[in-house]
Structure 1
Amino acid sequence: MPDEKNRAIAAAILPLVGGAQNFTSVAHCMTRLRLRLRDPSLVREEELKALPAVLGVVEDGTYQIVLGPGTVARVTPEFEALVARAPRTAEDLAERGAAIKAARSARNSTPFKFFLRRIANIFVPLIPALIGCGIIAGLNGVLTNLGLLPAVVPALAVMASGFMSLIAVFVGYNTAKEFGGTPVLGGAVAAIIVFPGVANFEAFGQKLAPGQGGVLGALGAAVLAVYVEKGCRRWVPEAVDVLVTPTLTVLVSGLVTLFGLMFVAGEVSTAIGDFANWLLAGGGAAAGFVLGGLFLPLVMLGLHQALIPIHTTLIQQQGFTILLPILAMAGAGQVGAAAAVYVRLPHNTSIRTTIRSALPAGLLGVGEPLIYGVSLPLGRPFITACVGGAFGGGFVGLFSMLGDTVGSTAIGPSGWALFPLLDGSMGLGATVAVYGGGLLVGYVAGFLATYWFGFTEEMLAELNTLQPVRGRTQPQDVRGPEGLPPVRDGAGRG
């Protein structure tokens, strides 16, 4: 194939002129590839001249490689493409990652994604309380199972359950605040949902239960309260606004909540819980594989925010969310991929330094430094990280299908930070073992997928070169892959 031939010529020339970071411009004339070099001493001229496609070299202001008419016009685009695909240092990766993140932010400026960001703004402030109460609940479970400190266990149970019993009020407060209403009115309407007296009411021929509809009902009630309040502000005279507007807001929104919204939201919440349980009980490894593999792309698209109310609903219904431990496997795949990049690029000190600094955070479930600093700018390692997450998710999903459900009592952290929040259907020991096994599978699968499929030969030839450290270049040569000649690369950015 002509394209493959021209691509091979470009790939052979690139390391012999010092790598992609050794020149500031690429151009061509009728017969010559013209490079403006940073450090001409890095060019291995004799080896370059020995290439069959190179007819000669000329130094005249620029470094000119004679390829001949026709050939140079076809090789130059392939050469430029290799350069464009090959970030060399951590700084290059950071720049590319920042560009990708900015582009993603621009794409996320849609009405739907703006709505999802609003939903996130409602629930994210609640995460610290969810984590704190979740850890206390886990500690309470351990003490109960071990029969220790019986006098303390009831107190821990109260601490762990108090916030969850009133979470609807906090959701209502944050919802009204986010949508431009009076926060306390949103909280007041949402409080109706958790008030024990709702058991005296019927809707659609059924008795209501305190908490029915949960956070979804609270969110809907508070949004309704905001619109009622804004409507009142437009026509209620200022002289009586302080009396009439709050009263009508709570009255109208409260009646709709009691005689319709609680029932509807309760049905939706029950359906979410039933679907999640059915998905993992029936789909098992396949469902976990898909969920674990798609979570990093969902994060990239900003769609992961839609899962926050679902996690919260499951926690409120069942005491834990069975989705988060599976989705957390995406971070395990990312860690495994980063480790493989580290191993595959033994001479790229810049990228390896970035990985060493970001890896501890990745192990604790904070994956963005690795995503935007390493795998996503490199391209292929991001895909292989998703593969690792898929295998980890499949492992956890398989045990869910077998009856050993793994859940998290709070949303927020993942990786090793999720261990204190784990809960499940088969006891703490089995739950921790399954989750830990999933992490291990994600690490190994992400590592192997990236090691074997994360790099092309051209990427390795360009990336696996000596990099400047603190403004200096390491003095030894390294041998490239597949027996390529030694590559010296030290004139780039320090």
Structure 2
Amino acid sequence: MAPENSNHATAAAILPLVGGAANITSVAHCMTRLRLGLKDRALVRDDALRALPAVLGVVEDDTYQIVLGPGTVARVAPEFEALVSAGSPQLPPTAEELAERGAELKAARKARNATPLKLLLRRIANIFVPLIPALIGCGIIAGLNGLLVNLGWLPAVTPALAALASGFMALIAVFVGFNTAKEFGGTPVLGGAVAAIIVFPGVAKIDAFGQPLSPGQGGVLGALGAAVLAVYVEKWCRRWVPESLDVLVTPTLTVLVSGLVTLYGLMFVAGEVATGIGHGANWLLDNTGAFAGLVLGGLFLPLVMLGLHQALIPIHATLIEQQGYTVLLPVLAMAGAGQVGCAVAVYVRAKRNEPLRATIKSALPAGLLGVGEPLIYGVSLPLGRPFVTACAGGAAGGAFVGLFSMLGDRVGSTAIGPSGWALFPLLRGNHGLGTTIAIYAGGLVVGYAVGFAATYCFGFSERLLADLNTAHPAETPAPATEPVRAT
């Protein structure tokens, strides 16, 4: 079957299992998941969805999320949207329908009981996640260019590659400002315009707090703050400026007020914070590397479950902007290695449980490439104790990478998003590429080994092991025995 037909078939198979087009209120996707807004959650057939070969798991959050894996989801989502549009013509809603929809939204919001922190972290993710494909592409090109420069090959080409790799990073503040304004309900281009001030070379002629500004000072943090301020100024103008003057006065005041505050306040403050983040991350790994790696690698999977990992996205972006790479991501990536080792141990121990072993076989390649959701939601989390032993593997791998940072060998990533084996093309450090790759590979091996050993020896009670090897296939926890709410 041609790939496009396969993607259409997957979308067509999913649609009736989520209640049909009439039950869909929104369709979106991230790197691995198809995210659906639903009118009636009761119409979803979870077990049938998980049984589809293309579905790696399901997660229930503020949207219903179907894990399809990287690449696949980006191709299935447009096909799914087309089917929803074809099956659900856009007719003007009646007053009764609008009232019912409003009541459902209000009830759903109360049921979620979203905290301000969770809402803020989701907004941060919505700002930075759309930038990840460009960060990955430019990061790989930067790594290729560095390799060619070190080898002395293609000297006529390397300047062009350097321009391709650096162009996006030079203007990342503009994209952050654009996305921030869009996320907070302002005019995106005004957010981008205010954030562009940060990277304008002419700011070097401006003194703030007794010293000249530097182009790029404050980076993505300054851009984020400037765009949020622009949104509030714009909303204030919309309330007070007469409608006849709005088109002239509102954008002018928005750029003028938020721009001046950015130049004479935010750039300096954000610059100090960004510098502190860079120094702090380097100090942490240089002086407490093994312990810091142990903690970060061990706690990252729980952070993902709580949704708190999203707070690290601006920190990664700041480090990449400052130093060319983030030293935190390779340490955090060890959590995925522990998860892979854990899954292999479950596969070995549950030797008579073919449905669970089939789930592991289908999800393991994605796990090796750093996509952990299928293994988390399909294997370790439903079983309970293996999730803890997977964290132990991540802690051991993180400690390994952190130890070498203490010894002077930093390992970093030029982009955020990938992990596992997919991170190899993005690796960069303060020594040769061979040393950097060897340390990261060693961390993966340690994470695999400890995750396997800890799970094999301590991941099962006698009762659980007996149940896994004698349970009827319908009782087997594959994938995710019940929807897991990612908070």
| TM exceeding 0.5 | yes
Name the TM tier (shorter chain): 0.7 to 0.9
Query: 1:103, CA displacement in angstroms?
Result: 12
1:35-434 matches, within 5 Å, as 109-434=114-439
Give 1:446's aligned amino acid.
G
What is the CA-CA distance between 1:427 and the residue it aligns to?
1.1
SS of the aligned residue for 1:241 comes to: helix
Equivalents in 1 of 2:163, 2:222: separation in Å?
A: 24
- Cα distance, 1:101 vs. partner? 6.4
CA distance in 2, matches of 1:328, 1:235: 49
Following superposition, the deviation at residue 194 of structure 1 comes to 0.2
Consecutive unaligned residues in structure 2, runs of 5 or more:
1-49, 66-110, 476-487
- TM-score of the superposed pair, with normalisation by structure 2: 0.75
- C-alpha separation between the residues in 1 aligned to 2:289 and 2:228? 36
- Which residue does the alignment assign to 1:455? 460
Q: Which segments of structure 1 move beyond 4 Å, counting only runs of 4 or more?
A: 97-108, 466-469
**Residues 60-96 of structure 1: CA deviation (Å, up to 9, x unaligned):** xxxxxxxxxxxxxxxxxxxxxxxxxxxxxx97xxx9x
- Deviations along 1:232-256, one digit per CA (max 9) or x if unpaired, are 0001011110000000000000000
DSSP 3-state at the match of 2:216: coil
Change in CA separation of 1:195 and 1:102 when aligned onto 2, cut-off 3 Å: closer
User: Equivalent residue of 1:455, what SS?
Assistant: coil
Highest Rg: 1 or 2?
Answer: 1
Structure 2 CA distance for aligned equivalents of residues 213 and 127 of structure 1:
20
Cα separation, 1, equivalents of 2:378 and 2:243: 54
Structure 1 residue 435 and structure 2 residue 440: aligned?
yes
For residues 196 and 126 of structure 1, what CA distance do their matches in structure 2 show?
Answer: 23
Contact 1:339 1:447 in 2 (8 A): yes
Note closer, same or farther for the CA distance 1:408–1:126 as it changes in structure 2 (3 Å cut): same
Cα 1:99/1:225, change in 2 over 3 Å: closer
Distance in 2 (CA, whole Å) between partners of 1:363 and 1:235 is: 55
Question: Could you tell me how far apart the structure 1 residues matched to 2:355 and 2:397 are?
Answer: 29
Distance 2:61 2:393 in 1: 22
Task: State the Cα distance separating 1:257 from its structure 2 match.
Answer: 0.3
Give the percent of matched residue pairs that are identical in Structure 1 and Structure 2: 79
**TM-score, with length taken from structure 1:** 0.74
> 1:340-377 CA distances to partner (integer Å, 9 max, x unpaired)?
00000111001000000000000000000000011000
**1:151 match: secondary structure:** coil
Q: Distance in 2 between matches of 1:466 and 1:184?
A: 58
Conserved 8 A contact 1:217-1:262: yes
Structure 1 residues 117 and 101: CA distance shift in structure 2, 3 A: closer
| Offset of residue 202 of structure 1 | 1.1
**Distance in 2 (alpha carbons) for counterparts of 1:451 and 1:102:** 35
CA shift in 2, pair 1:390/1:207, >3 Å: same
Q: What is the one-letter code of the residue matched to 1:375? A: S
SS at match of 1:293: helix
Show the counterpart of 1:26. Answer: none
Contact 2:58 2:64 in 1 (8 A): no
Is the Cα–Cα contact under 8 Å of residues 180 and 228 in structure 2 kept in the other structure? yes
SS of residue matched to 2:412: strand
- Distance in 2, Cα, partners of 1:176 & 1:417: 32
d(CA) in 1 for partners of 2:252, 2:461 = 67
